[in-house]
């Protein structure tokens, strides 16, 4: 799974991070390449517009570079990037006021249905995913954010607390409310 | 009326949500699982939460992010930051201090202004009798009428209230 690969990469961040903090831009580019897909994936589902997500992805890595001297080695670099990304996404959404969302790729149903499934089952799977994406887009940004970080990026409760500047208790209750809200939205 | 998931008491929903994340301590987990097995309310809620997790697991992860590479663009922007001078907050020009002799020349003017203000202020409130009984007072009253709240030529509905004599 991609997320596990990202987790495994966290130990590999140590050396390039040390060099990047000393001003080595080549080392920083390696870090960008390692984490850009996760950051972009999160931002794409948060802000819904591909061009905005791409621009924000660049912005997140520029901001991270500028803030590298303040980065605490005790925090995971990936979690810290999500913290910057979440703030950037919420800023954009506050300015924009309305939320658009990206329609799911037509091939998505094929990707998630069982390989032996017939065309009818595949179409049904694609429709379920579209409904999930649409329900996600209708959630409040705070609920969408915590669900995406937990379910797609696989952050633990401690990592969510770090990325969203919350206590673990608040993470637990916000996640529960976000799930309940999403289930209700999916029924509509 | 249908019951919503979040109508349930929050601690139960939170615990069930944490159970689907495998984030409960062993003892709490065992206790909740025993409860759910015999609870007609919690069992379907847990099933819905588990189903939601499965639906998320089926979401494509990298469909739209497969080909992106922002490393070069980020490096260019970082390079531009490095080559441009650091932003400097605009400085306000320092207030120019006047030499002491200029202040000494300005001081009498200030004193005279304050004295004139006090003298005019003392003369302003006119007694009603003075305003109508002496020619000088009538002249001043006519000048001050420009500041009255009543438009020129209007009839005052309450003469007494205006300070005039009763008719």
Q: Please name the residues between 123 and 182 in chain A that touch chain B, using a CB distance below 8 Å.
A: 125, 128-129, 132-133, 147, 150-152, 156-157, 172-173, 175-177, 179-182
- Domain ranges for chain A, please list them: 2-101+118-187
In a domain, B46, yes or no: yes
Domain spanning A2-101+118-187 has what CATH number?
1.10.1740.10
Tell me the percentage of chain A whose pLDDT exceeds 70: 83
Q: Determine the pLDDT at residue A185.
A: 92
Closest partner residue to A172 (CB to CB) among B14, B62, B65 is B14
Three-state SS at B48: helix
Tell me the C-alpha to C-alpha distance, in Å, between residue A83 and each of A90, A160, A166, B134, B143. Answer: 11, 9, 11, 82, 71
Q: Identify the residue with better confidence: B153 or B80.
A: B80
Q: Which of A9-13, A24-28, A81-85, A134-138 has the lowest mean pLDDT?
A: A9-13
B77 vs A62: CB contact, 8 Å cut-off?
yes
pLDDT per position as a tens digit, A105-121 = 544 444 445 556 677 77
The structure's pTM equals 0.67
Tell me the C-alpha to C-alpha distance, in Å, between residue A177 and each of A147, A181, B9, B15. Answer: 10, 6, 11, 11
Nearest CA distance, B52 vs chain A (angstrom) = 7
Q: Using a CB–CB cutoff of 8 Å, tell me whether A62 touches chain B.
A: yes
**Longest CA span, chain B:** 105
Q: Determine the pLDDT at residue B36.
A: 92
Confidence band of B164 (pLDDT split at 50, 70, 90): very low
On average, the pLDDT of chain B sits at 70
pLDDT per position as a tens digit, B23-42 = 999 999 999 999 999 899 99
Burial class (CB in 10 A: 0-12, 13-18, 19+), B116: exposed
Q: Determine the pLDDT at residue B142.
A: 52
In a domain, B36, yes or no: yes
A40 vs B53: CB contact, 8 Å cut-off?
no
Q: Hey, of A6, A40, A45, A172, which one would you mutate to test binding to chain B, going by the most B CBs within 10 A of its CB?
A: A172
With a cut of 60, say whether residue A75 has pLDDT above it: yes
Q: How many domains does chain B have?
A: 1
In a domain, B65, yes or no: no
């Amino acid at each position: 799974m991609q997320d596990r690969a990202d987790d495994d990469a966290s130990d590999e961040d140590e050396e390039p991070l040390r060099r990047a903090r000393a001003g080595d831009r080549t080392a920083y580019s390696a870090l960008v390449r390692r984490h850009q897909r996760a950051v972009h994936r999160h931002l794409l589902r948060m802000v819904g517009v591909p061009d905005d997500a791409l621009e924000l992805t660049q912005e997140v890595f520029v901001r991270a570079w500028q803030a590298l001297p303040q980065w605490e080695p005790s925090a995971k670099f990936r979690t810290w990037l999500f913290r910057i990304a979440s703030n950037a996404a919420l800023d954009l959404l506050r300015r924009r006021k309305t939320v658009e969302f990206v329609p799911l790729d037509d091939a998505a149903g094929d990707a998630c249905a069982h390989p032996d499934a017939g065309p009818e089952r595949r179409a049904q799977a694609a429709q379920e995913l579209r409904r999930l994406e649409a329900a996600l887009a209708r959630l409040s940004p705070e609920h969408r954010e915590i669900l995406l970080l937990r379910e797609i990026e696989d952050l633990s409760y401690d990592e969510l607390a770090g990325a969203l500047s919350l206590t673990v208790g608040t993470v637990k209750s916000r996640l529960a409310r976000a799930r309940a809200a999403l289930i209700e939205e999916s029924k509509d | 009326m249908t019951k919503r998931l979040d109508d349930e008491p929050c601690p139960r929903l939170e615990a069930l949500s944490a159970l689907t994340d495998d984030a409960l301590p062993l003892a709490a987990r065992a206790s909740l699982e025993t409860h759910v097995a015999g609870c007609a309310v919690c069992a379907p809620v847990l099933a819905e939460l588990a189903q939601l997790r499965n639906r998320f697991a089926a979401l494509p992860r990298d469909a739209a992010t497969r080909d992106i590479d922002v490393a070069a663009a980020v490096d260019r922007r970082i390079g531009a930051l490095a080559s441009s001078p650091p932003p400097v907050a605009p400085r306000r020009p320092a207030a120019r201090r006047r030499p002491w002799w200029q202040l000494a020349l300005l001081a009498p003017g200030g004193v005279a202004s304050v004295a004139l203000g006090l003298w005019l202020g003392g003369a302003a409130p006119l007694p009603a009798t003075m305003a109508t009984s002496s020619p000088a007072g009538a002249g001043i009253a006519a000048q001050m009428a420009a500041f009255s709240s009543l438009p020129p030529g209007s009839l005052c509905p309450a003469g007494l209230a205006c300070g005039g004599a009763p008719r």
